[in-house]
Amino acid sequence: MERIRCEALKSKIMSADEAAALVKPGSVIGVSGFTAVGYPKAVPMAIAKRAENGEDMHVTIIAGGNVGDQLDGSLARSGAMARRYGFQGNKDLRKLVNAGKVQYCDVHVSHSPYLVRNGYFGKIDLAILEVAAIREDGSLISSMAAGMIDVLTEYAEKIIIEVNDTIPLSVEGFHDLFLLKRAPNTQIIPITSAGDRIGTPYAACDPSKVIAVVKTSLQDLNANLKEPDEDMKKIASYIIQFFKDEMKAGRLPDPLPPLQSGVGGVANAVLEGIANSDLENLSVYTEVMQDAVLSLIDSGKVKSASGTALTISPDRREELYANLDKYRGKILIRSQEVTNAPEVIRRLSCIAMNTAIEVDLAGNVNSSHVNGTDIMNGIGGSCDYTRNSGISIFTTLSTAKNGTISCIVPHVGHVDQTEHDTEIIVTEQGLADLRGLSAYERADLLIEKCAHPKFKDELKAYVEKAKASGAGMHAIKVL
Amino acid sequence: MERIRCEALKSKIMSADEAAALVKPGSVIGVSGFTAVGYPKAVPMAIAKRAENGEDMHVTIIAGGNVGDQLDGSLARSGAMARRYGFQGNKDLRKLVNAGKVQYCDVHVSHSPYLVRNGYFGKIDLAILEVAAIREDGSLISSMAAGMIDVLTEYAEKIIIEVNDTIPLSVEGFHDLFLLKRAPNTQIIPITSAGDRIGTPYAACDPSKVIAVVKTSLQDLNANLKEPDEDMKKIASYIIQFFKDEMKAGRLPDPLPPLQSGVGGVANAVLEGIANSDLENLSVYTEVMQDAVLSLIDSGKVKSASGTALTISPDRREELYANLDKYRGKILIRSQEVTNAPEVIRRLSCIAMNTAIEVDLAGNVNSSHVNGTDIMNGIGGSCDYTRNSGISIFTTLSTAKNGTISCIVPHVGHVDQTEHDTEIIVTEQGLADLRGLSAYERADLLIEKCAHPKFKDELKAYVEKAKASGAGMHAIKVL
C-alpha cells in the first residue's frame, strides 16, 4: 500500500538535502522518536552536512526521549546543535554537554509536551517527524514510538515528514493518541485501565504546515539488550518475592496493578523474570515496552500493555515486524504525555521499577550523573513514575566499575529522586523496604540488605561517624 | 444546636482521661488536623499524662499536616511518642527528632492518605479526630481542616472523637469530602475547576467503631501571621509583574490558572499583594487557605477557593467565625488527598508558590533542613504542587540570620525539590526564570537576579572555580 496518500503532499516530496535546505539556522526544532526508535534520520544528517560545510546552524533540538546517532550524533559532531532538551543517550553529544559546548536541560518525559504546548520553550519553528505513512487527509500513522508527535504537529509552525518504509504498515491501529490542550483548558485523561482506548490511531496534521516530505529506508539504531545474567536474575527474584509477600499481607492487590519498567538490561531482566514466574493476570503501563513485554504477552500473563514506544532489540525486530498482528489489541502506543501522566500513574497505582546509578544511605537516588559531575543520559520518565506510583522500586547492581566502587554510597553525587519518593531498593544482594523508616533506620537496612559485603564495613563506619559528629539525626552526615 | 446528634454515641461520652485510658501502648494513631487547626487536643494531652506518670506509651502518630502543641508538644515532651509521620512544626518534637529520640519520616501531603489506605503504615489502631459535630447517623462535620479525616474514619480500627464547641456550627456545608478507595480501585477525581463540588459535606463514620466521645473547648494554637514587610512586598511585586509579562507573551492564560500558596508570612504576603493588584478573576486551589485568601475573596478577585484547611490567624478568627456565612459557596474545604492530588494540580495547571529555606546554583531547593542536618518542619505539600503544577515558583529572602548567610548557595544541604522541578526563583532582589536554561546559565541568572549584592562576588567566584576545576559542565561543582 502506498505510504504517502495525501494528494496535497505529493508535490512536497523531495530529497533530504533539499528538505534540510529549508531549515533556518537558529531554528527551534521538535523531533519525533523515543528510546532510539521512530526519530527522524535523513534530514538531521543533511542538516549536519550543512554545518560540516561551514554553515553556523546552531539549532535547538527538543526530543521527547532518546533518539539515535543519525540525529543526536550527527548534529552534535557537526557542531550544528547549540541546545538540547530532553533525555539523550549519545556519547558524542554527552561529551559536548559535559564540555559546556551544547547547552543541555534535562526535562521529565511528562513535562516536555506540556512545555511545548504552553510555549515555555518558545515558538517551535519546525517539527521533524518520522512516520510509517501519511493518510489521505494529511494525518500521520506514527512509527513504533509516538513520543510527542501529536503535540508537535499541533504546535510547530512548520513540519518536515520522513516517511520510513522499514516501518511495517501493519502498525496502523496500534496507536492511541490523546492530545491535551493548552491551559486554561482542563481535561480529564479518562484511563482507568492499562488497555483503555481514549484517543485516535492517527496524529492530526494540517497539510498546509508541511514543507517537505522525504522518503527514507534508514533503520533505527537502538541497541540489543544484554541477556539476563545471574545478578539480574537475582534482582528479579527478590522483586517477585516482594510482590508475593505484599499480596499476602494485603498491601498489594492480586492481580497486581500495572507494571512500569525503566529502560535497559536490568529493567528488561526483571520483566523477563516476571514472565517466567507464577504471577498471573498482569498488565503493563509504562513509557517504553522492551523485549520482555513481548515475552509477557506471549506467556499469556499480560493481556494489555501500554507505552509510548515499542523498542525491540534489532535482533528480534524482523520477527516482530513480520508478526505484528499477533499483538494487535494487546499493545497500545500512546503519546508520552499520557503514558507519563501523573494523573494516570497515581490512579492506576502503577508499580514503578527504575534503575539507579547510585543510591545513598538516606534513600536519595542518582539516575543521571556519573562521578556526580558528568551527565550520563538524563532522568527520562523515572521521576514521573517514581513520584506518582503506588510503589516505587529502584534497582542497581551493588557495585560498578568491575566491583571497585559501591553503588550504595553515603551521599549521591546528584539527587534526581529524593528520599521522599523512593521506597524499595534492590540489588543482587537483596531488597530493602524503606517505607516508613527514619533516616538511620533506612541507612542500616540499606547496608544490611543491599550493599556489597566488601563495602559494608566502610559504610557502617560512615554511619557511626555521622552519628558521633553532632549533626541532626534526621540527616546522615559527617560534619 | 446540639453537637452530638447520634443517639448510639451518647453513651460513649466521657472525659479525656477516660478516653485516653482506652489507648493501648504502642498504638498506631492517625489524627485529624492540618496547619495547627482541627487537631485533637484533650485526649493527646491525657495520653501524655499517662506517660508522665511512668507508663511506656511509645505511640506512633500519623498526621496529615501540622498539628498544635497540645498534640505534638505534649506527646513529645512526655516521651509518649516513639514515631511520627508527616509534617511537624513543634520545637520540642523537632528537638527529639534531631536527637534521634523520635523516629521521624517525612511524607508528602498527598501520600499520607494513600499510605494509610493501602496499609503501608500497617494497621491503624486508632483515629483521634476533632470535629464540629456528629450527625444523627454518626457521620462527622469536620473542623476548619479536613486533612485525612475521611480516610481515617474508613481505615482506622477504632475511633475517638473530640467534639470541640469553639468551632462554629456554621462550618457545616463548607466541606467537600471525596474518599478514594484502595487499589485496585481506579477512580477519576472529576475536578476541572477549583470550585467543583465532587463529594459530600460529611465524613462517613461507622458509630460501632467509635469507642469514646469527648467534649472540649480548647482553641487551636496556630500562630498569627507576620504583617507583610517591604521585602515581602517586593517579592509579591516581582511575581505579579511576572504573571503580567507571561500573560502578555501568551504563556499564561488570562485569567490565570488557580493559585496555590505555601504556608507562612511570605506566602501570605504574596497573596495579599495579589489581592491589592489589578489581576482579576482569580481562583485558589491550594492546601492551606491563610488570611490572604479572605482578602482575595473580600476584594472580589477570587470567586472560588479550595483547600484542605482554612487556617486563619487567631487575631482574625473571631470575626471570621461570626461571619462565616459570607464565605459560603466561595470556600471549599476538601480532603488533603484531593487538594494535593497530582491529577488535579496538573489538570488545572496550578501556579505553585512555595517557600524555600535555600536554593542552590543548579536550582535545587531545600525546604526542610537547616544547616543541611537538622529537620525544621518537613516538606508538607510543596513537592506535590511543585512537581505537578503548570508553573512552579519558590520564594525566599536572599539572606537569613540577620543577613549573615546567603540563601542562594553553591549546594543546598538537603534536596527536597530537584532542579528538574523548580522553575521560577524569587527573592527581594529579583526574579529568576530558570525554565529551559542549562546548568551554568541557571547559576549566572540566579546570582544576577536573586542573590544579595554582598554575596554575589563569593558566588561568582565559586562558579569560576567550578568551571576551572574540570568537573562536567552539567554540574556546578568544585572537584
Say if the Cβ atoms of B374 and A475 lie within 8 Å: yes
Taking CB atoms and an 8 Å cut-off, how many pairs form between chains A and B?
Answer: 199
Q: Which residues of A touch B115 (CB under 8 A)?
A: 435-436
Say if the Cβ atoms of B99 and A473 lie within 8 Å: yes
> Is B287 one of the annotated active-site residues of the chain?
yes
Q: Which residues of A touch B417 (CB under 8 A)?
A: 418
* CA distance to A91, A162, A274, A359, A459, per residue, from A402 (Å): 21, 42, 27, 18, 19
Indicate the pLDDT class of residue B66, thresholds 50, 70 and 90: very high
Disruptive mutation site among A91, A377, A418 for chain B (greatest number of B CBs within 10 Å): A418
Say if the Cβ atoms of A120 and B252 lie within 8 Å: no
Say if the Cβ atoms of A186 and B348 lie within 8 Å: yes
Say if the Cβ atoms of A418 and B479 lie within 8 Å: no
Looking at residue B1, its pLDDT comes to: 80
Sign of the C-alpha dihedral computed for residues B410, B415, B418 and B423 taken in this order = negative
Say if the Cβ atoms of A437 and B85 lie within 8 Å: no
Residues of chain A with CATH 3.40.1080.10: 7-216
Q: Coil, strand or helix: which one is B310? A: strand
Q: Which of A104, A186, A249 sits opposite B192 (nearest CB)?
A: A186
Looking at residue A478, its pLDDT comes to: 87
**Among A423, A425, A415, A477, residue whose Cα is nearest residue A447:** A425
Q: Does A155 touch chain B (CB under 8 A)?
A: no
pLDDT digits (tens, 9 = 90+) for B110-124: 999 999 999 999 999
Q: Which residues of B touch A479 (CB under 8 A)?
A: 373
For A115-119, B208-212, B445-449, which range has the lowest pLDDT when averaged over its residues? A115-119
Q: Is the pLDDT of residue A472 over 90?
A: no
Average pLDDT over residues A360-376: 92
Looking at residue B347, its pLDDT comes to: 97
| A372 to chain B: closest CA residue | B475
Question: CATH number of the domain at B7-216, please?
Answer: 3.40.1080.10
Q: What average pLDDT does chain B have?
A: 96
Looking at residue A393, its pLDDT comes to: 98
Looking at residue A327, its pLDDT comes to: 97
Average pLDDT over residues B127-146: 98
Residues of chain B with CATH 3.40.1080.20: 230-468
Indicate the pLDDT class of residue A59, thresholds 50, 70 and 90: very high
Q: Are B376 and B385 spatial neighbours (Cβ–Cβ below 8 Å)?
A: no
Looking at residue A474, its pLDDT comes to: 83
Q: Is the pLDDT of residue B17 over 90?
A: yes
Looking at residue B446, its pLDDT comes to: 98
| B437 to chain A: closest CA residue | A105
* Residue, of B344 and A122, whose pLDDT is higher: B344
Q: Is the pLDDT of residue B264 over 90?
A: no
Q: Is the pLDDT of residue B258 over 90?
A: yes
Looking at residue A318, its pLDDT comes to: 93
pLDDT digits (tens, 9 = 90+) for A288-303: 999 999 999 999 999 9
Q: Is the pLDDT of residue A284 over 90?
A: yes
Q: Are A410 and A361 spatial neighbours (Cβ–Cβ below 8 Å)?
A: yes
Beta-bridge mates of residue B62: B30, B85
Min distance B106 CA to chain A CA atoms (Å):
7
Q: Are B166 and B35 spatial neighbours (Cβ–Cβ below 8 Å)?
A: no
Q: Which of A348, A379, A475 sits opposite B420 (nearest CB)?
A: A379
Write down the ipTM of this complex. Answer: 0.96
Average pLDDT over residues A264-272: 90
Looking at residue B470, its pLDDT comes to: 80
Average pLDDT over residues B73-93: 97
Q: Which of A118, A373, A440 sits opposite B479 (nearest CB)?
A: A373
Looking at residue A187, its pLDDT comes to: 97
Looking at residue A425, its pLDDT comes to: 98
Say if the Cβ atoms of A184 and B475 lie within 8 Å: no
pLDDT digits (tens, 9 = 90+) for A169-192: 999 999 999 999 999 999 999 999
**Sequence-separated contacts (24+) of B293-298 with Cβ below 8 Å:** B293/B331, B294/B320, B294/B327, B295/B271, B296/B271, B297/B327, B297/B330, B297/B331
Question: How far apart (Å, rounded) are the C-alpha atoms in residues A301 and A175?
Answer: 22
Q: What percent of chain B has pLDDT over 70?
A: 100
**What residues of chain A, 105 to 124, have a C-beta less than 8 Å from chain B?**
105-108, 114-115, 118-122
SS (H, E, C) chain A: CCCECCHHHHCCECCHHHHHCCCCCCCEEEECCECCECCCCHHHHHHHHHHHCCCCCCEEEEECCCCCHHHHHHHHHCCCEEEEECCCCCHHHHHHHHCCCCEEECCCCCHHHHHHHCCCCCCEEEEEEEEEEECCCCCEEECCECCCHHHHHHHEEEEEEEEECCCCHHHCCCEEECCCCCCCCCCCCCCCCCCCCCCECCECCCHHHEEEEEEECCCCCCCCCCCCCHHHHHHHHHHHHHHHHHHHCCCCCCCCCCEEECCCHHHHHHHHHHHCCCCCCEEEECCEECHHHHHHHHCCCEEEEEECEECCCHHHHHHHHHCHHHHCCCEEEECHHHHCCHHHHHHCCCEEEEECCEEECCCCEECCEECCCEECCCCCCHHHHHHHCCEEEEECCCEECCCCEECEECCCCCCCECCCCCCEEEECCEEEECCCCCHHHHHHHHHHHCCCHHHHHHHHHHHHHHHHCCCCCCCCCCC
Q: Does A158 touch chain B (CB under 8 A)?
A: no
pTM passes above 0.95: yes
Q: Which of B107, B120, B435 sits opposite A120 (nearest CB)?
A: B435
Indicate the pLDDT class of residue A326, thresholds 50, 70 and 90: very high
Active-site pick, B162, B287, B419, B428: B287
Average pLDDT over residues B353-378: 93
pLDDT digits (tens, 9 = 90+) for B402-411: 999 999 999 9
Indicate the pLDDT class of residue B476, thresholds 50, 70 and 90: confident
Disruptive mutation site among B101, B445, B473, B476 for chain A (greatest number of A CBs within 10 Å): B473
**What residues of chain B, 159 to 178, have a C-beta less than 8 Å from chain A?**
none
Give kind and range of the element (H or E) at residue B418: none
Identify the architecture of domain B230-468 in CATH. 3-Layer(aba) Sandwich (3.40)
Q: What percent of chain A has pLDDT over 70?
A: 100
Disruptive mutation site among B178, B412, B421, B474 for chain A (greatest number of A CBs within 10 Å): B474
Question: How far apart (Å, rounded) are the C-alpha atoms in residues A135 and A154?
Answer: 16
